[in-house]
């Protein structure tokens, strides 16, 4: 689909918002013996809206700073291509964040002050990803914020709303999901090393260089399989480990691919596949916990 708005919201990235919420929902269901489905639906809507707002604001912000141009190696961007005006895209981002805030008001009534803080921090991070004097995406901290907000905070926050209690399982699984989410950004920044540095985008990949970035990618996609060993007591989740191991061959294939794929547009496929790994890992995790 070539609709510029469809491209601007980057639908292939939305699974990164859905997976941690879904994982948190299954954990809450198993540990609490049931959940309020309306609460889970509102959490999911808020998470997707924040992701959409972040993507839109990133589209506009990178074009303004010169990081995105019509000749970029990654997927085409609506503002950089001249399909949509900067102010129009920014306005749409504000609307998306505003709708997420409205959903958040409902969730605050359920989860209290912790959810207020999580919501405000999530929106602030979405705006600050490519805005302000020191945008997160232009620093070493991009992967850390993705790990935090698309992993730990998303899963733990979901469980908190649904159960009104903390969960060690949520912390472990959030770290695993967030690790793969961070790997998605690593591939993105690895692909753009040569174009990011001239525009002052000092990402972790730019600072580490290609060789160390490939090693970081390997660490991030394999770490979840190490973490899953410590997730819960074997008597509580006896099927979790062996079910998750079904995703290991795909992870190993991706680790092989980052060394075999020529640096350039060919990495866009690896970027998509890394997001698919998170979806697969999350899906198998939910199956393993439920069983």
| Per-residue confidence (pLDDT) for residue 165, from 0 to 100 | 85
Whether 157 contacts 24, CB under 8 Å: yes
Average pLDDT, the chain: 88
Residue-wise pLDDT for 212-230, tens only, equals 999 999 999 999 999 988 7
The Cα–Cα gap between 27 and 34 comes to: 10
Which pTM was predicted?
0.91
| Per-residue confidence (pLDDT) for residue 113, from 0 to 100 | 82
Confidence band (pLDDT; 50, 70, 90) for 236?
low
Whether 214 contacts 258, CB under 8 Å: yes
Return the CATH number at 193: 1.10.600
Residues 79-91: b if buried by 16+ CB within 10 A, e if exposed: bbbebbeeeebbe
Confidence band (pLDDT; 50, 70, 90) for 119?
confident
CA-based nearest residue to 66, from 205, 202, 209, 195: 195
Residues 4-27: b if buried by 16+ CB within 10 A, e if exposed: beebbbbeebbbbbbbbbbbbbbb
Domain range holding 230?
Answer: 4-290
Mean pLDDT of 38-60: 93
Mean pLDDT of 174-186: 96
Higher-scoring residue by pLDDT: 19, 59: 19
- Structural domains of the chain, count: 1
Residue-wise pLDDT for 72-89, tens only, equals 677 778 888 888 888 999
The Cα–Cα gap between 245 and 234 comes to: 15
Q: Decide: helix, strand or coil at residue 178.
A: helix
Q: Is the pLDDT of residue 260 over 70?
A: yes
Confidence band (pLDDT; 50, 70, 90) for 155?
very high
Whether 222 contacts 246, CB under 8 Å: no
CA-based nearest residue to 154, from 179, 137, 136, 129: 179
C-alpha distances (whole Å) from 86 to each of 14, 59, 64 are 22, 8, 8
| Per-residue confidence (pLDDT) for residue 67, from 0 to 100 | 62
Mean pLDDT of 141-152: 93
């Amino acid at each position: 689909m070539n609709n510029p708005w469809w491209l601007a919201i980057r639908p292939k990235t939305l699974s990164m918002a859905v997976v941690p919420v879904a994982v948190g929902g299954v954990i809450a269901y198993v540990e609490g013996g049931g959940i309020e489905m309306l609460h889970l639906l509102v959490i999911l809507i808020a998470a997707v809206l924040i992701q959409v707002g972040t993507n839109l604001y990133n589209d506009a912000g990178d074009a303004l700073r010169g990081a995105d141009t019509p000749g970029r190696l990654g997927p085409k961007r609506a503002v950089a291509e001249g399909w949509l005006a900067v102010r129009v895209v920014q306005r749409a981002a504000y609307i998306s964040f505003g709708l997420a805030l409205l959903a958040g008001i409902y969730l605050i009534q359920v989860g209290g002050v912790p959810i207020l803080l999580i919501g405000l921090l999530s929106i602030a991070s979405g705006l600050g990803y490519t805005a302000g004097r020191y945008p997160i995406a232009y620093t070493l901290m991009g992967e850390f914020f993705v790990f935090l907000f698309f992993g730990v905070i998303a899963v733990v926050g979901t469980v908190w709303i649904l159960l009104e209690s903390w969960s060690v399982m949520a912390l472990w699984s959030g770290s695993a999901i967030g690790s793969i989410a961070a790997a998605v950004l690593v591939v993105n920044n690895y692909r753009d090393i040569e174009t990011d540095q001239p525009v002052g985008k000092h990402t972790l990949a730019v600072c580490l260089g290609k060789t160390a970035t490939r090693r970081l990618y390997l660490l991030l996609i394999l770490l979840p399989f190490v973490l899953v060993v410590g997730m819960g007591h074997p008597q509580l989740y006896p099927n979790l480990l062996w079910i998750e191991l079904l995703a290991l061959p795909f992870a190993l294939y991706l680790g092989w691919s980052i060394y075999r794929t020529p640096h350039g547009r060919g990495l866009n496929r690896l970027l998509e596949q890394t997001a698919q790994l998170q979806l697969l890992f999350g899906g198998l995790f939910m199956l393993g916990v439920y069983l």
